[in-house]
Structure 1
Amino acid sequence: MLTYFQATVIGAVQGVTELFPISSLGHSVLVAAWLGGDWKKLVSSGESDTGTPYLAFVVALHVATAVALLGYYWRDWHAIIVGFIITLRTRRLDTVPQRLAWLIVIATIPVGVLGPLLEHPLHALLAAPIYASVFLTLNGVVLIVGEGLRRRNEPSLAEYGRRFALREARGGTLAVETETRRQTDRPLAALGVLDAVGIGFAQVGALLTGFSRAGLTMVGGLWRGLEHEHAAKFAFLLATPAILGAGLLEMPELVGPRTDGIRGPVLVGAIVSGVSSWLAVRFLERYFQTHKLLPFAVYCLVAGSLSIVRFS
């Protein structure tokens, strides 16, 4: 049975690691494996059986994280949703939020199609701690590679952004877009369709236990030359529909009879996860204004390598 203490610890770990580029799923496996005992049994049963109470608990944690992201970026989402609706009527992309809305839609398609097909089979096949250890180590390598890709591709996106700004100015939309928060999103709107598709496929890699959704998406943004803060914001915006959609698909598990007797711990874990996710995105949004992915890469390499030694 899931205890209140377990729910609190797992909720805090999930809420932070879902947004930090260090893999929430990988940590859910490795933390339990390192602790052993009832913790290991709790997680391993949830990974191998799609009808366990633990799966319902994980669903609640993910929904809480998505709600926290929606709350934190509610102004952005309001502008994006309104912009999306307007484009359906006008069939034009005249503003930054309108373009950003379609970039998110396009980038969400790969995980929206492949996620329901591959998520449970991959988790069941690769739920062992040794797989999570290897993929967490590789996640660190990917983060380092992402830093190199950003420096190499920065000039091309800078030129693309200059042309995008010039097109905006000629169309008169810059005069309309006066809100500072939206103006800072212009580098995101400079991404193209192929960029969005590439970043979307990068996000699919998080279906492998140990790879980070936020980390892979950020690397995709850095690959296209985005600054770290813009790559992070796009990663958080893109994660919101993916996490929320996956949670809603599994909602029957959350309200079903298998949660009888543990709804209290599930609720506590969800609250802790939501609060920790809010604090995590607030910290990371400021962190990436001046810092890079390298500290997270080092952590993944060290933690993954030690886990490989421990579980091999």
Structure 2
Amino acid sequence: MSSHLSYAEALIVGALQGVTELFPVSSLGHSVLLPAIIGGRWAADLNVSTPESPYLAFIVGLHVATAAALLVFFWRDWVRIVSGFVTSVRYRRIQTPAERLAWLIVLATIPVGLSGLALEHVFRTTLGKPVPAAVFLILNGLVLYGGEMIRRRTPALASVNSADSAGQRESGSLGNAVDDRLAQLSLPHGVLVGCAQILALLPGISRSGVTMVAGMARGLSHEEAARFSFLLATPIILAAGLLKIPDLFGPLGNGIHGQVLLGSLASFVSAYFAVRFLTRYFETRTLTPFAIYCVLAGTASLLWLTIG
């Protein structure tokens, strides 16, 4: 691995990770499919299903960088959320929107955290192969499209008057308003949305995509569901990365520290611009283009891998 992971490969994979982790198209699915489609040394060396894969150690570094980009972009939200958690514990209450949102995130993160510890290795080694990833990518597209169908039939939560949105954006308060609407979710519904992330353990199923669909099914708008998805993803991506970060300083990281640094930088930059784009995109647009992409890309990959 150390002799074959070039800086060019690290740069490409890092930039791809930052985008696909946040776009509803599955970063793990792309991490599995891209090397297999390119073939050659990529297919041999960049294999997440191999036990103790150095490529997995590299991906860990990219995940930490992606989570860091989310923290930087949503830093105001996280100041409110952490403050809400502290005041909730201090005064033993759950009253304010910030306190409710803090507990929504905490409780919604627990199921996927436990599931990841129990199932991640099994799912990655048994299903982290190109053909299953292509099939799950197709299913991901169908889930996204199904989410759009469900959203049309689901009553929406009360939302901010659109006439006030421009002024709120200028004053920096629109994000707070969205967070306050997210806090209207009941704790059971918030946990249910968080549980949807468990499906993202399957390569080809998007964490942000299934979380958005679950949120939209509970009455969130596209903008609200996307924001909640990104907030939920931050602690779990960061925790998963930090849990495995020692791998980068052990045998699996030998000879690739420079590549990890470059790839992580690329992942940070691409993730930051991806979340910046998506938060604006979902103010007025839908998951349908991503659904079409997943079905087409998954089908094309499946044909390439099984027929070509």
Common topology (TM > 0.5) = yes
CA contact (8 A) 2:15 2:263 kept: yes
Q: 2:210 aligns with which of 210, 216, 234?
A: 216
Find the aligned partners of 1:58 and 1:216 in 2 and give their Cα distance. 21
CA contact (8 A) 1:8 1:268 kept: yes
- 1:279 is paired with a residue whose SS is helix
Residue 289 of structure 2 is matched in structure 1 by: 295
Q: How far 1:113 moved relative to its partner?
A: 0.8
Task: Write out aligned runs for 1:1-312 (5 A).
Answer: 1-44=4-47, 46-50=48-52, 52-155=53-156, 157-158=157-158, 179-312=173-306
CA displacement 1:16-44 (0-9 Å, x = unmatched): 00000000000011111111111111222
CA contact (8 A) 1:55 1:253 kept: no
Find the aligned partners of 1:261 and 1:104 in 2 and give their Cα distance. 37
Q: How far 1:93 moved relative to its partner?
A: 2.1
In the alignment, residue 12 of structure 2 is paired with which amino acid?
Answer: V
Q: How far 1:144 moved relative to its partner?
A: 0.7
Find the aligned partners of 2:152 and 2:267 in 1 and give their Cα distance. 34
In the alignment, residue 250 of structure 1 is paired with which amino acid?
Answer: K
Q: How far 1:103 moved relative to its partner?
A: 0.5
Q: Percent identity?
A: 53
Residue 175 of structure 1 is matched in structure 2 by: none
In the alignment, residue 3 of structure 1 is paired with which amino acid?
Answer: S
In the alignment, residue 2 of structure 1 is paired with which amino acid?
Answer: L
CA contact (8 A) 1:32 1:43 kept: yes
CA contact (8 A) 1:87 1:98 kept: yes
Residue 163 of structure 2 is matched in structure 1 by: none
CA contact (8 A) 1:60 1:266 kept: yes
Q: How far 1:179 moved relative to its partner?
A: 4.4
In the alignment, residue 116 of structure 1 is paired with which amino acid?
Answer: L
Find the aligned partners of 2:264 and 2:137 in 1 and give their Cα distance. 25
Find the aligned partners of 1:60 and 1:305 in 2 and give their Cα distance. 30
CA displacement 1:200-225 (0-9 Å, x = unmatched): 11110000010000001100111111
In the alignment, residue 8 of structure 1 is paired with which amino acid?
Answer: L
TM-score relative to the length of structure 2: 0.92
Unaligned runs of at least 5 residues, structure 2: 161-171
Find the aligned partners of 1:48 and 1:260 in 2 and give their Cα distance. 17
Find the aligned partners of 1:86 and 1:129 in 2 and give their Cα distance. 47
Q: How far 1:248 moved relative to its partner?
A: 1.0
CA displacement 1:243-268 (0-9 Å, x = unmatched): 00101111110121332221111100
In the alignment, residue 79 of structure 1 is paired with which amino acid?
Answer: R
- 2:204 is paired with a residue whose SS is coil
TM-score relative to the length of structure 1: 0.90
Find the aligned partners of 1:184 and 1:276 in 2 and give their Cα distance. 24
RMSD over aligned Cα atoms: 1.5
CA displacement 1:159-186 (0-9 Å, x = unmatched): xx89xxxxxxxxxxxxxxx944312322
CA contact (8 A) 1:107 1:199 kept: yes
- 1:48 is paired with a residue whose SS is coil
CA contact (8 A) 2:199 2:210 kept: yes
Q: How far 1:226 moved relative to its partner?
A: 0.6
In the alignment, residue 257 of structure 2 is paired with which amino acid?
Answer: R
In the alignment, residue 47 of structure 1 is paired with which amino acid?
Answer: S
Find the aligned partners of 2:212 and 2:110 in 1 and give their Cα distance. 17
Unaligned runs of at least 5 residues, structure 1: 163-177
In the alignment, residue 304 of structure 2 is paired with which amino acid?
Answer: R
